Amino acid sequence: MSDSTTPATPRTLLLRGGEVHSPADPFATAMVVEGDSIAWIGSEGAADSFAENVDEVVFLDGALVTPAFTDAHVHTTATGLALTGLDLSDARTLADALARVRAYAEERPHDRVLLGTGWDASAWPEQRHPGRAELDAATGGRPLYLTRIDVHSALATTAMLDVVPGVTTRAGYSADAPLTGDAHHAVREAAHATLTPDQRAEAQRAAREHAASLGIGALHECAGPDISGEEDFTSLLALAAAEAGPRVFGYWAELVTSAKDADRVRELGALGAAGDLFADGSLGSHTAHLCSPYADAPGTTGNGQLDAATVATHVAACTEAGLQAGFHAIGDAAIRSVTDGVRRAAESVGTARVRAARHRVEHAEMLTKAAVADFADLALTASVQPGFDAAWGGADGMYARRLGAERAATLNPYAALLRAGVPLALGSDSPVTPLGPWETVRAAAFHRTHAHRISVRGAFTAHTRGGWRALGRDDAGVLVPGAPADYAVWRTGPLIVQAPDTRVANWSTDPRSGTPGLPDLTPGGEVPVCLRTVVGGRTVYARPDE
């Protein structure tokens, strides 16, 4: 036993007899972990020399070892509430949704406010959302706050509206339509204020435990005053620091105009004044800001929430303070405001400094060729969610209904971004689309618009190393000696190299190319099963009976 003045010797672990996905050795079958870092990666024969000098040997039985995934855009508490509460994302009809609301209200007689998420009327045959009278009846007249699947609009019962003074005079209120804008934010704040610290912690633990079970080792929490509030944000960071589980890196969506503002963001524990700092809303809620009107709502172009001058001030102030800036921008008009603003900031504080800061844009869906070029020139990270295309893309999807088929086919151009050298970080925006890293990689590789597809390897890299690079870390998210020991172990089928162009696939499967394989993610097939997730050398998930 060591005394208090002598540091303990780091525990060493040898994993062998599997497939280790590493650029250090594309044919590696073994890995040594020392403490919280990767110490060695290599062949089975070389592993023999380590076997007698490690604390533990783990026989992989052919399992695949990869870096743990990083989900670059998550709302942790909301994800946990969806996991433990009312989630309508798989409701098939309006009647089904109302029945679930009624059952949930009966199951939770003591909740001050009923909370739910996930409704999507565009997927229902009725093509309409529940009316307030229908929700009042389903809940027995109790307060209910029910967000749309994109979380940019919400339904509320009469009793819920009654606890928010003046809500009917706020922008975004309508007697017949879902709440948006200021009205939505006020109702959300009132609803979330009813959560007890224990309820919040329960939801946060549920979300982190679920993420760990999927091989996710890090989450980028996108919080802010209009999203979840300071107490939720700081309590999540504290919980993640105190308890085993995926790492949580926080972003706080509040405008910065001075060094004092930047200091306040840092004091909250945030890495940047970024994430869901809204330049606009969402396509599903008709609040994404477009240059031309919606195809199914010709009278509107959505809601622009930040102009180029405001963006420029924020980016310049963050750059001067050494803080990441970032924005939520989906529509082409919103993205233009962001890129114009970032360019103005670069002219003010210097392009090199802006590029070095690795500012980021969340979602970045409706990109023109000029916008892609701006992203590349300004070194903006595109933090994107391929699950959006899987859920709403295609000729018959919600995007096509909102925008028309021609404009919808331009959305989420991942191949163009990679060709231009734009850094990509993949995420889910959970609970908007579910946590599921292999499903996310599949959605990028088999994009509904063929021209936007990228290779499985490219998507995998963006969902592992890309998330770390978005944080400003180039030494993580990859299995090489010296990297953090954040990894996952998977049961999967044969490993292959998949790319959207069969010529690339045929070349890169040649063993001489030295390209490590990945699971076959052809749509319809099973995704790998997570057997173990390790963060900083510490097991945070182990599949039962494995």
Mean pLDDT, residues 197-223: 97
**CATH class, 197-471 region:** alpha beta
CATH superfamily of 12-67+479-492+528-542: Urease, subunit C, domain 1 (2.30.40.10)
H/E/C letters for each residue in 22-39? CCCCCCCCEEEEECCEEE
Query: What radius of gyration, in Å, describes the C-alpha atoms of the chain?
Result: 24
Q: Tens of pLDDT along 13-71? A: 999 999 999 998 999 999 999 999 999 999 998 999 999 899 999 999 999 999 999 99
pLDDT, position 508: 40
Cβ neighbours around 421 below 10 Å, total: 11
Where are the chain's structural domains? 12-67+479-492+528-542, 75-193, 197-471
Positive/negative CA dihedral, 77, 217, 464, 237: positive
360-363 and 324-329 strand pairing: parallel
Residue 363 pLDDT exceeds 90: yes
Q: What distances in angstroms separate CA 195 from CA 180, 233, 348, 536, one per listed residue?
A: 22, 14, 44, 32
CATH number of 75-193: 3.10.310.70
Task: Give dist(CA 349, CA 345) in Å, integer.
Answer: 6
Mean pLDDT, residues 513-536: 92
Residue 5 pLDDT exceeds 50: no
Task: Give dist(CA 68, CA 242) in Å, integer.
Answer: 20
pTM of the model: 0.91
Q: What is the DSSP string of 332-390?
A: HHHHHHHHHHHHHHHHHH-HHHHHHHT-EEEE--S--HHHHHHHHHHT-EEEE-HHHHH
Q: Tens of pLDDT along 324-352? A: 999 999 999 999 999 999 999 999 999 99
Asked if residues 73 and 468 have their Cβ atoms less than 8 Å apart, the reply is no
Q: Tens of pLDDT along 83-141? A: 988 999 999 999 999 999 999 999 999 899 999 999 999 889 999 999 999 999 999 99
